[in-house]
A = this chain, B = another copy of it.
Amino acid sequence: MIERADRESRLTEADHLSVRVWLRMLACTTLVERRAATRLRQNFATTLPRFDFLSQLERNGNGLRMTEISDRMMVTGGNITRIADQLESEGLIARSPAPGDRRASVVQLTPAGECAFVEMARRHEEWIVEMFAALDEHERRVLYAVLAKLKGHLAETERKR
C-alpha cells in the first residue's frame, strides 16, 4: 500500500502525537457521554440533549431564544424544536414573546422544570465525579489548564476562518 506509507511518512512524530491525543480524547468523551446518557435514561427516562437543553436555561435565568439555545448546546443529535415541544408539553419550560421582537419567543424553565433539572443535575454531577475519580487533584488541574489552552486556540482560529 504505497499511499499508506506516503501518508505516514508525511507526518512527523509530533504530528502523530496530536492525532493520538485527539483519538484518545474522543474515546474518553464518548465513554463519559454514553455512560451519562445511559444513566439519565435509566434514572430519569430522559436524554442527554434534553438535559443539555434544560441546563442552558438553568444557567440563563432570564431565558434564551431558540437560536441562542441551539448555539450553546454541547450535545449533538437532538432536534431542538422537537425537544422544546416535548419539554413544553411536559410543563418543564414555557415560551413568552421576546421583549422588543414580537415574532421571536424566549424560553425559560418553569418552577417544575427548575425542580426536575436540579435533581437531574445533582445526580449527573455525582456520575461525573465518579468517572473522573481516577485522576488526583493535580492531574485534574493540569488537564483543566491544558484544555483551556486548546479551547482558546480553537476559539481564536474559529473567529479567523
Contacts and interface: CB of A to CB of B under 8 A. Distances in A.
A67 to B, nearest CB: 16
A147 B24 CA distance: 7
A98 B152 CA distance: 48
Chain A residues touching B, majority SS = helix
A7 B119 CA distance: 8
Given A7-B121, A143-B143, A129 B18 contact: yes
A139 B149 contact: yes
Copies in the complex: 2
Interface in A103-161: 114-115, 118-119, 121-122, 125, 128-135, 137, 139-144, 146-155, 157-158
A151 B74 contact: no
A81 interface: no
A150 B28 contact: yes
Contacts of A27: 74, 151
A128 to B, nearest CB: 5
Interface in A1-47: 1, 3-4, 7, 10-11, 14-15, 17-33, 35
A18 B125 CA distance: 9
A31 B151 contact: yes
Contacts of A15: 125, 129
B33 A26 contact: yes
Contact of A147 (B28, B33, B130, B157): B28
A68 B157 CA distance: 36
